[in-house]
Structure 1
Amino acid sequence: MPEVIFNGPAGRLEGRYHPSKTRNAPIGIVLHPHSQFGGTMNNPIVYQLYYMFAERGFSVLRFNFRGVGRSQGIYHGQDELSDAASALDWAQSINPDARACWVAGVSFGAWIGMQLLMRRPEVEGFISVAPPAGKFDFTFLAPCPSSGLIVHGDVDRVAQPKDVQALVDKLKTQRGIIIDQDIIPGANHFFDGKTDELMASCSGYLDKRLGRNSTAA
């Protein structure tokens, strides 16, 4: 789990990177929750998503947004999207043969991740954990270019179920993509006591997508 430093638009960004042993392995990028509320790349869910990708042969990167840990700059709110784009650029620069890319994000990181996939056509799948649909504007998903998983808790007071459901319902009307939804009973925004159920959902979805892809190949 080597520490890496790469250039972002507001200065150096700090990350952790796990390279795959396979030359053309897919890339995974994991984005952390809101930095103004304690979110870092060491968030337990971010950490587990990182290893979920690594265990499946991805070259995977998690990093701190600007102003977090040793990452330079200050919180902005929207420009963190540029940080994520720089992270993907860096991962692609050392994995030029990567055949695909996935993005996973938690809360604020899910919002940034879904903006990233709108800008980067190489992103073929996403996992959005507790996307805060009632707190941030998701209308940019018109249309959503990639299939993915949205997973959230039914007692989440930040990403409230009715708001997330409205987002899912909107995305499901679009042709050419498939949006999977999983609602974890009893889970709050931090999945306290429900992390095992969350990770079972995320890993099961990723395994399903990878299996389908490999069959098609």
Structure 2
Amino acid sequence: MPEVIFPGPEGRLEGRYHPQKDRDAPIAIVLHPHPQFGGTMNNRVVYNLHYAFHRMGFTVLRFNFRGVGRSQGEYDQGIGELSDAAAALDYLQSMNQNAKHCWVAGFSFGAWIGMQLLMRRPEITGFVSVSPPANMYDFSFLAPCPSSGLVIHGTADRVAPPADTRALVDKLHEQKGITITHDEIEGADHFFQDPHMGTMIDHVTAYVKRRLTEGTR
């Protein structure tokens, strides 16, 4: 899988780009957890999401937010990281101008950034939000949420407690015109330690495949 360096708002960003042979393949970006708590694009959840999307026929990009790995810049409280994600999507779209579908997937902090990106980019047709930290960050900007998607987390998550995630999902369920699918992985912690990683990826794969088959928002 090619290592890529592409321009970001504060300098170069480092990524891993995994294209498909099909020129009109759907595209997806995968966003990693908090940079100040060891989050990188090589996080196990991010890595597994990346390959799950590629197996489903997506051209996929994951990357390091500013200040992580070889990405330039410094941590910016989520504001700059959202700009990084927008730059990554710009780069991915420039390489895949015939893509009919565009998805964003994020884990933990990356889920929060991904949901904000969703609000800015109407071309995003679906999202996967893994262990969104609804107890730490304000998700009220999702009013209304512009696209249907999947929220998935573990019942034993102590970093982002399930009760807060359920409250977020309940608010999103009140919105019309979209469908929020909510999956809980019994016994899984925030990081989906084995044997729960495979179960989570299976749920994500089943959801995305169903959405692609339906061809709907």
TM-score greater than 0.5 by the shorter chain: yes
2:128 partner SS: strand
What is the letter of the counterpart of residue 85 of structure 1?
Answer: A
Match of 1:47 in 2: 47
Match of 1:196 among 192, 195, 198: 198
Match of 1:205 among 190, 207, 210: 207
The answer (yes or no) to whether the contact 2:28–2:58 under 8 Å persists in 1 is yes
For residues 185 and 124 of structure 1, what CA distance do their matches in structure 2 show? 28
Match of 2:136 in 1: 135
- Aligned pairs, how many? 214
For residues 13 and 50 of structure 2, what CA distance do their matches in structure 1 show? 17
CA RMSD of aligned residues (A): 0.8
Q: Per-residue displacement from partner, 1:2-30 (whole Å, max 9, x unpaired)?
A: 00000000110000001111111111000
What is the letter of the counterpart of residue 179 of structure 2?
Answer: I
The answer (yes or no) to whether the contact 2:130–2:151 under 8 Å persists in 1 is yes
Match of 2:152 in 1: 151
What is the Cα deviation at residue 91 of structure 1? 0.5
For residues 71 and 146 of structure 2, what CA distance do their matches in structure 1 show? 30
The answer (yes or no) to whether the contact 2:56–2:205 under 8 Å persists in 1 is no
Match of 2:74 in 1: 74
What is the letter of the counterpart of residue 120 of structure 1?
Answer: R
Match runs of 1:29-108 below 5 Å: 29-78=29-78, 79-108=80-109
1:29 partner SS: strand
What is the letter of the counterpart of residue 87 of structure 1?
Answer: A
What is the letter of the counterpart of residue 22 of structure 1?
Answer: D
For residues 165 and 77 of structure 1, what CA distance do their matches in structure 2 show? 25
For residues 96 and 200 of structure 1, what CA distance do their matches in structure 2 show? 29
2:152 partner SS: strand
Match of 1:121 in 2: 122
| Structure 2: segments with no counterpart, 5+ residues | none
What is the letter of the counterpart of residue 16 of structure 1?
Answer: R
What is the Cα deviation at residue 96 of structure 1? 1.1
1:123 partner SS: coil
What is the letter of the counterpart of residue 199 of structure 1?
Answer: I
The answer (yes or no) to whether the contact 1:106–1:131 under 8 Å persists in 2 is yes
Match of 2:4 in 1: 4
Poorly superposed stretches of 4+, deviation over 4 Å:
none
What is the letter of the counterpart of residue 162 of structure 1?
Answer: A
What is the letter of the counterpart of residue 127 of structure 2?
Answer: F
What is the Cα deviation at residue 98 of structure 1? 1.2
For residues 199 and 19 of structure 2, what CA distance do their matches in structure 1 show? 27
1:167 equivalenced with 2:168 (yes/no): yes
The answer (yes or no) to whether the contact 2:105–2:111 under 8 Å persists in 1 is yes
1:13 equivalenced with 2:13 (yes/no): yes
User: Structure 1 vs Structure 2: percent identity of aligned residues?
Assistant: 65
For residues 102 and 12 of structure 2, what CA distance do their matches in structure 1 show? 23
For residues 48 and 189 of structure 1, what CA distance do their matches in structure 2 show? 15
Match of 1:178 in 2: 179
2:125 partner SS: strand
